[in-house]
Structure 1
């Protein structure tokens, strides 16, 4: 059963503050995302979204021992950064080092590309030239995947070249090591993955993703910028605009992007459960990752944004932004 949710209450507004940066990131969000997409493409690293300690079958473990195989290489968004760390299933989170502390994020990305760890020391740093870029600091500096052997087990974290160390999260804090191992992809390959294409003169890309068809034609998944956000929605052929939900209202955008080359399907979920392989569609005005969701109203599907901190999917409907606790979310097949 579909559940409607009233406009944001004061308690819901508190969720927004969870994603509000104490200081506005120095790198524009759109520029940072394009940078990350390009680096992921060139490095050949495949990342899959998941939550609550779940990982896909091809997730890469932190090490080879039985103990190390209980943890997986991941990364998470935090304070304007995309920071590598490790997913600990029993903690239902990806633990990342940042700002002197350990932070646990229950929505994260999982590494699904195999490679090897190469030793780095103060006297031997050549392998850093082959390291695979896996994140970005709040200032736009590339971050890499590193691991250290500490107290008999491997701990995975971030390598920040300008600091000359590998930071890992340990016992609630951030600890730096000058000797560590860095992750290198053995044979980088360009990934066959989905991407976004700007709308141009009403020409629809041949491989644009169709969410449904009706009497007006095909409905395509799209996204558009609005008030510092990049918000998922759908292009309606009747209006030739991308319809998005934001701030209690429906907005129709003439400048937008199509989701293309997407091998995905919609699956049922609810509240803030993000299934393994969910496709991120954008980000909120506070930098929170947004996913692509849809709900059925009558005999039509309406595409909108899934905002995990609000535990709903917002869709644009009859001029308003409407929230649903039960919905479908787009995931990779």
Structure 2
């Protein structure tokens, strides 16, 4: 699939990887990015399929949603980024704040697990065990 699309997941849906057609990989790893509306912000985050929930960071707090969108397909790749470097021109904008500030998809590794979150003002925010972690060096999702 060349074009990335967003698949809307409702709370009452029963989810499996097959339902989401999420067998695609980026750089050899399974990939699921979620996004959801919260307080008029469209927030990128990560999906926990076994919980039928997605997790997002908002103003330093963990937000759990049971209705969200999942990114499917697309020619995408991860690129390493450190604070102070310009964001890649082809970084995938997957959300925005209520003030129309763009939010991009970033990921970090925690205890051997790669988790997605949002990139805002050169920092990646990811929810881990109900806490928000901020990282200044991370991978950012780009369009090939």
Question: Structure 1 residues 199 and 211 mapped into 2: Cα distance closer, same or farther (>3 Å)?
Answer: farther
TM-score (structure 1 length as normaliser): 0.38
Query: 5 Å matches for 1:110-189?
Result: none
Matched with 1:194 is 4
Q: For structure 1, list consecutive stretches of 5 or more residues without a partner in the other structure.
A: 1-191
Instruction: Confirm whether residue 282 of structure 1 aligns to residue 92 of structure 2.
Output: no
Distance 2:95 2:23 in 1: 17
1:251-266 matched pairs, under 5 angstroms? 251-266=63-78
Q: Is this contact kept in 2: 1:282–1:290, CA < 8 A?
A: yes
Counterparts of 2:22 and 2:115, CA distance in 1: 20
Instruction: State how many pairs are aligned.
Output: 137
Q: Deviations over 1:6-43 (max 9, x none)?
A: xxxxxxxxxxxxxxxxxxxxxxxxxxxxxxxxxxxxxx
CA distance in 1, matches of 2:47, 2:35: 8
Q: Deviations over 1:75-125 (max 9, x none)?
A: xxxxxxxxxxxxxxxxxxxxxxxxxxxxxxxxxxxxxxxxxxxxxxxxxxx
- Return structure 1 stretches of 4+ with deviation > 3 angstroms: 207-214
Separation in 2, partners of 1:233, 1:202: 20
* Between structures 1 and 2, the one with greater strand share: 2
Point out the structure with max Rg over C-alpha.
Answer: 1
**Residues 1:233 and 2:45 are matched in the alignment:** yes
The answer on whether the counterparts of 2:106 and 2:124 sit within 8 Å (CA) in structure 1 is yes
Aligned counterpart in structure 2 of residue 224 of structure 1, from 31, 36, 39:
36
Could you report, residue by residue, the CA deviation over 1:268-296 in whole angstroms, capped at 9, with x for unpaired residues?
01226211311111001221010000011
Structure 2 runs not aligned, ≥5 long: none
- 1:324 partnered with 2:135: yes
Cα distance between partner residues in 2 of 1:249 and 1:258: 21
Aligned match of 1:312: 123
For residues 322 and 207 of structure 1, do their structure 2 counterparts lie closer, same or farther at Cα, with a shift above 3 Å needed?
A: closer
SS of residue in 1 equivalent to 2:106 = strand
Structure with the higher fraction of residues in helix conformation: 1
Q: Secondary structure at the match of 1:267?
A: strand
Contact 2:44 2:105 in 1 (8 A): yes
- Structure 2 residue aligned with 1:294, among 99, 107, 110? 107
TM-score by length of 2: 0.84
- Three-state SS of the structure 2 residue aligned to 1:238 is helix
